[in-house]
Structure 1
Amino acid sequence: MTARRSTFTALVTLLTFAGILVAPQASAASLVEVTAFGDNPGGMRMHVYVPDSRPASPAMVVAMHGCGGSGPGFYSGSEFASLADRHGFIVIYPSAQQEAGFGKCFDTWSDAAKRRGGGSDPVSIVSMVTYAQQRYGGDPGRVFATGSSSGGMMTNEMLALYPDVFKAGAAFMGVPFGCFANAADYPPGASRCTGNGGANRTPQQWGDLVRQAYPGYTGTRPRMQLWHGTADTLVPYSLLREEIEQWTDVFGLSQTPTSTDTPRAGWNRSRYGDEVEAYSIQGAGHSLPSSGMAAAALEFFGITGTPDPDPPVPGTCSVKPTVNAWNNGLTASLAITNNGTATINMWSLAFTLASGQTITSGWNATYAPSTGQVTARNAGYNGTIPPGRSVDIGFQATHTGNAAAPSSFVLNSTACSTG
């Protein structure tokens, strides 16, 4: 193996001095950056994950991060790469470079970004897809888009602008295509789009924006899956309704779902024919996708079969609560330990507060609701718990005399021991 590496290194050096560009190769369990992937008006960075085991023409998934994130960060903090190892598809991770006042975000606001072939980030992303098709043999008939927050917004964007490129999309915490008027309208708090009621248009108005993005297009439209947490205040939950109105109108569907169900606790799904489905995640804030949601997106894309509606966390878990109480207040620290043999990714911990307790603030996780049965979801920096390791989270609460520790801990779908 050492001799082979030395030979390869020498060959790369020789070709470099000869002025020949050597395209990067993806290797086992590695994320590779591609620096010359084609037309790149958005000045974006591209990373790609290509599993060793894959068919001759694998599907391709473009997975896009939220504001302030990056492609490598979304690779580490989501389940798409591990699922790619299992199901043999390529994952493209773009990194946005547009400053939006609170970190780098995908451009969904400029005139260029709202016109097919107009420039900016959408053109760069299509170049990445073309590169992956040519370099790794990706199947041009099975290209999908997904993303979180800014990436969810760009998922709506790509499906509207390039319906001939993408077969389906899964947008987490996004907004309808064409929601933002311009760059000044983008930042939360100052935006008419994400402000309360500011994005209220008719289904036809939303649908017209999509149809105008690629005038004259008569081909098949990509199917759309939409996700939003009911407690999301950064990108308000009400925008899920606007997204549903946009895509059902594009497909000429009724605003009344053809079916509703709860495929997993807290996941309320509405289906509109075979083309659109929407998930309302009860109590979730701006924290999607969480465990199991990537698998549900892949099932919608048709890459995988129907996922286990309640996939178990590998191995076992334990939680050690420590409570410090005073008068009518307390703090509780929870040490979550992975006692199994496999890494836990994108975790959520459900537990029950004692009667009369109300959470007022927390750290190292998001908490919702504030009373009764609470779910704590990982922060962006602690979503992985390796075997034998722990994650410490906690919260401050008020109480009415009962300062008992929380109980009934369930990590994802596995009950945890206490102590």
Structure 2
Amino acid sequence: MKRTRSILAAVLSGLLLITAWAAFAPPAAAASLQEVTNFGDNPGGLRMHVYVPDTRPASPAILVAMHGCGRSGTGFYSGSEFAALADQYGFIVVYPTATKQTAMGNCFDVWSAASKTRGGGSDPASVVSMVEYVEDQYNGDPNRVFVTGSSSGGMETNALLALYPDVFAAGSVYMGVPFTCFANEADFPPQTSKCVNGSMDRTPQSWGDSVRQAYPGYSGPRPRVQLWHGSQDTLVPYQLLQEEVEQWTNVFGLSQNPTTTDRPQPSWERKRFADTGGTVRVEAITAVGAGHALPQTGMARLAIEFFGLHQNDPGGTTPPATTPPETTPPPTRACTATVRIVSSWGSGWQGDVDVTAGTGALNGWTLTWTWPAGQSISSSWNAQVTSSGSTVTARDVGWNGSIAAGQTRSAAWGFIGSGTATAPAVTCTAT
């Protein structure tokens, strides 16, 4: 489905908030962040770190996760949830570090002509070399390569999706700008930029043409795109989310009107754009009230779910799985659940429910509890909820029902409760 190595080998040889070339490095030790030097062609001069989970399939998926200006790959590793999710679902994470210096610090190049050229002499080509390295060293699955990034890293995500649609299956962009938004290096600093001064407005056709011209003649499948932005972002204006939507919906030939809208969390407003077959090709999520500070807690998980990585069975290549004796009973599919009080106000409160699998993986869960007098649920998300008197029953909605053995799905279900904030005891039943 994805790339042809011979083509890439030939091609590869020739901002904002939130460093490659020494002796050959051996494969990184599992479950620790390791730097890789001499990973291949590196025209952008990037540094590479890789996180390989203890347990993974024979051919694991790959996620590239990129930081914002002034930050580093190691910082994005420690400050985001992707490595923990990799432990849970068995995919490998690549953390590049940008080295190009701007007024905003080190940022990924999205302004130069080379950064807008497939196989050009800049950062996108270096990132693809990192992907190739992981495929070769860890038998990474070339059909399941994904990319995400925050701010400068989000902008680079859009560039990679445009330039290398045969490499990446999907991407999740936090606080980004459309591909080719920056005219040149002088246009990059926010103080002088036409891209991020709040007035950028091109037609969907113009934005879409920029993507199509990035790989002329390409007729294969395009990567699905998830877009995030804070409604109060003034550094990379919120208005640019709409420009990104226009770019990618035009690339897919979709209507500018979403096919569905919902709220994965109370302050997350999601618009989904699906094709005639019902597959969501683009989704745009507004973090209401958020500034230039994404991803927030839980957003990485939603990105992983958009990619489909939450359906992975991590497998057991390291260490090898052990077959139990025939007399050993099968693992018990038990589960536990805990209500966390997220916030409260005069007449209500928000609760998140974490669900943890026992010694066996869960295919689904049902939660029940009994409220004290005067309490009830006024709204909820990510569960089918019924009430009988003071007893509440909540069931998963499919995508959030699968939990690997011994793992916890944080915020598997959330709700708004009325009355005094109280975390009741919950009974969890595996289904």
TM-score of the pair, normalised by structure 1: 0.69
* In structure 1, C-alpha distance between the alignment counterparts of 2:420 and 2:77, rounded to whole Å: 28
Q: Which position in structure 2 is the counterpart of 1:46?
A: 48
* In structure 2, C-alpha distance between the alignment counterparts of 1:25 and 1:414, rounded to whole Å: 45
Q: Which position in structure 2 is the counterpart of 1:405?
A: none
Say yes or no: does 1:143 pair with 2:145: yes
Question: Measured at CA, do residues 270 and 190 of structure 1 come closer, stay the same or move farther in structure 2, by a change above 3 Å?
Answer: same
After superposition, residues 157-176 of structure 1 pair within 5 angstroms as 157-176=159-178
* In structure 1, C-alpha distance between the alignment counterparts of 2:149 and 2:66, rounded to whole Å: 4
2:289 to 265, 270, 283: 283
Q: Which runs of 5+ in 2 are unaligned?
A: 1-21, 275-279, 313-335, 344-355, 357-418, 425-431
Question: Measured at CA, do residues 96 and 89 of structure 1 come closer, stay the same or move farther in structure 2, by a change above 3 Å?
Answer: same
1:59-97 CA-partner distances (Å, limit 9, x unpaired): 000000000010000000000000000000000000000
1:119 to 112, 118, 121: 121
CA displacement at 1:314 relative to structure 2: 7.7
CA displacement at 1:28 relative to structure 2: 3.8
For 1:129, the aligned partner's letter is V
* In structure 2, C-alpha distance between the alignment counterparts of 1:315 and 1:196, rounded to whole Å: 41
Q: Which position in structure 2 is the counterpart of 1:350?
A: none
Say yes or no: does 1:296 pair with 2:302: yes
For 1:290, the aligned partner's letter is Q
Describe the SS at the equivalent of 1:171: strand
CA displacement at 1:26 relative to structure 2: 2.3
Q: Which position in structure 1 is the counterpart of 2:195?
A: 193
* In structure 1, C-alpha distance between the alignment counterparts of 2:338 and 2:188, rounded to whole Å: 40
CA displacement at 1:210 relative to structure 2: 0.3
Describe the SS at the equivalent of 1:201: coil
* In structure 2, C-alpha distance between the alignment counterparts of 1:86 and 1:409, rounded to whole Å: 34
CA contact (8 A) 1:61 1:91 kept: yes
CA contact (8 A) 1:313 1:414 kept: no
CA displacement at 1:265 relative to structure 2: 1.1
Question: Measured at CA, do residues 108 and 409 of structure 1 come closer, stay the same or move farther in structure 2, by a change above 3 Å?
Answer: farther
For 1:163, the aligned partner's letter is P
Question: Measured at CA, do residues 61 and 187 of structure 1 come closer, stay the same or move farther in structure 2, by a change above 3 Å?
Answer: same
**Larger relative contact order (C-alpha < 8 A, sep ≥ 6)?**
2
1:96 to 98, 104, 107: 98
CA displacement at 1:24 relative to structure 2: 2.8
For 1:286, the aligned partner's letter is H
Question: Measured at CA, do residues 22 and 100 of structure 1 come closer, stay the same or move farther in structure 2, by a change above 3 Å?
Answer: closer
1:349-398 CA-partner distances (Å, limit 9, x unpaired): xxxxxxxxxxxxxxxxxxxxxxxxxxxxxxxxxxxxxxxxxxxxxxxxxx
Question: Measured at CA, do residues 67 and 143 of structure 1 come closer, stay the same or move farther in structure 2, by a change above 3 Å?
Answer: same
CA displacement at 1:316 relative to structure 2: 6.7
Describe the SS at the equivalent of 2:244: helix
TM-score of the pair, normalised by structure 2: 0.67
* In structure 2, C-alpha distance between the alignment counterparts of 1:23 and 1:409, rounded to whole Å: 57
1:58 to 60, 73, 76: 60
CA contact (8 A) 1:49 1:92 kept: yes
After superposition, residues 4-403 of structure 1 pair within 5 angstroms as 23-197=25-199, 199-273=200-274, 274-305=280-311
For 2:131, the aligned partner's letter is V
Question: Measured at CA, do residues 135 and 275 of structure 1 come closer, stay the same or move farther in structure 2, by a change above 3 Å?
Answer: same
1:117-140 CA-partner distances (Å, limit 9, x unpaired): 112000100000000000111100
Question: Measured at CA, do residues 314 and 156 of structure 1 come closer, stay the same or move farther in structure 2, by a change above 3 Å?
Answer: farther
CA displacement at 1:263 relative to structure 2: 1.3
CA displacement at 1:100 relative to structure 2: 1.3
* In structure 2, C-alpha distance between the alignment counterparts of 1:155 and 1:299, rounded to whole Å: 18
* In structure 2, C-alpha distance between the alignment counterparts of 1:70 and 1:190, rounded to whole Å: 25
Question: Measured at CA, do residues 186 and 317 of structure 1 come closer, stay the same or move farther in structure 2, by a change above 3 Å?
Answer: same
CA displacement at 1:189 relative to structure 2: 1.8
CA contact (8 A) 1:32 1:48 kept: yes
1:174-222 CA-partner distances (Å, limit 9, x unpaired): 000000000010011210000021x200000000000000000000000
* In structure 2, C-alpha distance between the alignment counterparts of 1:233 and 1:280, rounded to whole Å: 14
* In structure 2, C-alpha distance between the alignment counterparts of 1:112 and 1:29, rounded to whole Å: 35
For 1:153, the aligned partner's letter is M
Length, aligned pairs only: 302
CA contact (8 A) 2:24 2:37 kept: no
For 2:301, the aligned partner's letter is A
CA displacement at 1:102 relative to structure 2: 1.7
CA contact (8 A) 2:23 2:37 kept: no
* In structure 2, C-alpha distance between the alignment counterparts of 1:233 and 1:302, rounded to whole Å: 32
Q: Which runs of 5+ in 1 are unaligned?
A: 1-19, 307-311, 320-341, 343-407
For 1:35, the aligned partner's letter is T
* In structure 1, C-alpha distance between the alignment counterparts of 2:337 and 2:231, rounded to whole Å: 25
* In structure 1, C-alpha distance between the alignment counterparts of 2:151 and 2:132, rounded to whole Å: 24
CA contact (8 A) 1:37 1:128 kept: yes
Q: Which runs of 4+ in 1 moved over 2 A?
A: 20-29, 312-319
* In structure 1, C-alpha distance between the alignment counterparts of 2:249 and 2:420, rounded to whole Å: 39
Identity of aligned residues (%): 63
* In structure 2, C-alpha distance between the alignment counterparts of 1:313 and 1:232, rounded to whole Å: 35
CA displacement at 1:414 relative to structure 2: 8.1
For 1:285, the aligned partner's letter is G
CA contact (8 A) 2:180 2:210 kept: yes
CA contact (8 A) 1:24 1:33 kept: no
1:121-176 CA-partner distances (Å, limit 9, x unpaired): 00100000000000111100000010000000000000000000000000000000
1:219-246 CA-partner distances (Å, limit 9, x unpaired): 0000000000000000000000000000
